Amino acid sequence: MKKQFALFALLIIFGACSVGVKKDLITGMNFKYEGLSVVDVYPTQDNERMNSNEAEYGRKLYIQLRDVGNLTEKDGLANIGCAIEITDTAGNKILESADIFEGSKAKKASELSALFINLDVIDPLVVGQKYLWKANFFDKNGKGHIDIDFEFVVKAPAKKIFTRMVNVESGNCDFTLAGILNESEEQIDVWEPVVGQKYLLNLNGVKGIKESDGIYSFDFTSCVIGAKGDTLAKYDDVLTTGKLATLESYITISPEMKTNSPCQWVNHFKDKNSTAYIKAMIPMNVK
């Protein structure tokens, strides 16, 4: 059964006024709204919705709001502010602002339906410590507001290994070697991909992945991103294995990849039974 984001919700509608309270049971994020409306509020890191309250040190942590509504317009324009406060478990204030959107220009309400705020997870935040992030989004032309509480734990930064050919990042797991093999499964020392050739990404010595009933399972995504940021190829699958030591991914170089070089081959293995992951990024200048 797939792990889903669970929400407890209470919603009461009084004419044009909306009141709601929601809690994400996976991350623990709470939010309530009055006057304003919002469909979803959730934390992300690296453009991915978080499935725990652990924020990795050295990266940005985001709070995303989707489908914000009921903003009051004046002369056809709406304006919203956001007060934030971050405290540690002893109640000491780490960061505070009365309005981080101060000075921002008014816009049409439709342009403010998707909002976000972010935080650099760096000093003075400490690995292993817990913090409470409070955010109050308020309608500058009315009385509506959205209040968010997110208690998060700072976790150690992921391990990163950079070689001449493969940049590999891992979190909550480990590996010993990353390399690229040719179609004959021979190690490549010079990475010059050629159209029509097949190549293999090989990750050896993988450990720290959790098993379930003797099976290791991964959500796997492999894609190629072109020079202009467009996706040239993409493959999604669920990988399962009874033995864990090596992870592999194949690619066949297409003419489109040559046309859009330099490009990047990205492989993301996410453990379905924990927060562990391995992400391998291979720059390609196709010949």
Percent of the residues in the chain that have a pLDDT greater than 70, as a whole number: 92
Express as a percent the part of the chain with pLDDT over 90: 58
224 and 272, same domain (yes or no): yes
Does one domain contain both 210 and 276? yes
Instruction: Report whether 37 contacts 13 (CB < 8 A).
Output: no
Note whether residue 2 is domain-resident.
Answer: no
Assess whether pLDDT exceeds 50 at residue 2.
no
Whether residue 196 is found in the same domain as residue 263: yes
Please give the Cα distance from 118 to 50 (Å, whole number): 14
**How far is the C-alpha of 108 from the C-alpha of 116, rounded, in Å?**
17
Task: Tell me: do 171 and 149 sit in the same domain.
Answer: no
Encode pLDDT of 190-214 as tens digits.
888 999 999 999 888 788 888 888 8
CA dist., res. 212 & res. 238, Å (int): 14
Task: Answer yes or no: is pLDDT of 283 > 70.
Answer: yes
The alpha carbon of 191 is separated from its chain's Cα centroid by a whole number of angstroms, namely: 29
- Name the pTM for this structure: 0.56
Residue range 22-48: average pLDDT? 91
Same domain, 187 and 139: no
70, pLDDT greater than 70: yes
**Do 127 and 247 belong to one domain?**
no
**Which residue, 155, 179, 196, sits at the end of a domain?**
155
CATH of the domain at 103: 2.60.40.770
Q: Give how many domains the chain has, as a whole number.
A: 2
The verdict on residue 1 lying in a domain is no
Domain span including residue 205: 159-284
Which CATH number belongs to the domain containing residue 215 in this structure? 2.60.40.1930
> Rounded CA gap, 153 and 238, in Å?
29
Categorize the per-residue pLDDT at 13 as very low, low, confident or very high, splitting at 50, 70 and 90.
very low
| Residues 144, 165 share a domain | no
Claim to verify: residue 237 and residue 186 sit in the same structural domain? yes
pLDDT mean over 159-183: 79
Whether residue 252 is contained in a domain is answered as yes
Q: According to the model, what pLDDT value does residue 228 have?
A: 87
105/193 same-domain check: no
- Please indicate, yes or no, whether residues 147 and 171 belong to a single structural domain of this protein: no
What's residue 161's pLDDT?
A: 57
